[in-house]
Amino acid sequence: MRYFLGVDGGGTKTQAVLVTEDGELVSERTGGPTNILENGEETFRKNLEDILKPILMKAKGEVISCLGVPAVGEFRNSERIISRIVESTVGLKPTLVVNDVVVGWASGTLGRDGVHIVSGTGAIVYGRHGRKEIRVSGWGSIIGDEGSAYHIGVETLGVVSKQLDGRLERTMLCDFVFERFNFKDHYDFIQWIYDPHSDRRSKIASVAVLTYEMAKKGDKFALEILERASEELACAVITAVKKLELKNPLVSCGGSVLVKNEIVRKKFEEIVKESVNAKVVTARLKPVLGGVILAMKHVSGDIPEAIIGKLEEVNEMI
Give the per-residue pLDDT at 149: 97
In this structure, the answer to whether residues 194 and 254 fall within a common structural domain is yes
Average pLDDT over every residue of 89-99: 95
Full strand arrangement of the beta sheet holding 132-137: 132-137, 123-129, 114-119, 250-254, 279-282
In this structure, the answer to whether residues 242 and 136 fall within a common structural domain is yes
Distance CA 162, CA 156 (A): 10
- The backbone region for 9, taken as left when phi is positive above 0, alpha when psi lies in -120 to 50, beta otherwise, is beta
In this structure, the answer to whether residues 86 and 173 fall within a common structural domain is no
In this structure, the answer to whether residues 238 and 293 fall within a common structural domain is no
In this structure, the answer to whether residues 135 and 250 fall within a common structural domain is yes
In this structure, the answer to whether residues 272 and 150 fall within a common structural domain is yes
In this prediction, residue 192 has a pLDDT band, given cuts at 50, 70 and 90, of very high
- pLDDT tens sequence across 2-15: 999 999 998 789 99
For residue 302, the domain's CATH number is 3.30.420.40
Give the per-residue pLDDT at 140: 83
In this structure, the answer to whether residues 278 and 296 fall within a common structural domain is no
In this structure, the answer to whether residues 95 and 134 fall within a common structural domain is no
Percent of the chain with pLDDT over 70: 100
In this structure, the answer to whether residues 173 and 88 fall within a common structural domain is no
Average pLDDT over every residue of 117-137: 94
Q: Specify the number of domains making up the chain.
A: 2
Give the per-residue pLDDT at 39: 87
In this structure, the answer to whether residues 205 and 215 fall within a common structural domain is yes
In this prediction, residue 32 has a pLDDT band, given cuts at 50, 70 and 90, of very high
In this structure, the answer to whether residues 268 and 152 fall within a common structural domain is yes
- pLDDT tens sequence across 239-282: 999 999 999 999 999 999 999 999 999 999 999 999 999 999 99
Residue 265: domain span: 113-283
To the nearest 10°, the Cα dihedral for 240, 104, 293, 74?
Answer: 70
In this structure, the answer to whether residues 144 and 15 fall within a common structural domain is no
Give the per-residue pLDDT at 300: 86
- 28 beta partners: 17
Give the per-residue pLDDT at 302: 84
Cβ atoms of 170 and 163 within 8 Å: the answer is: yes
CA torsion sign for 155, 74, 41, 100 is positive
- pLDDT tens sequence across 194-210: 999 988 988 999 999 99
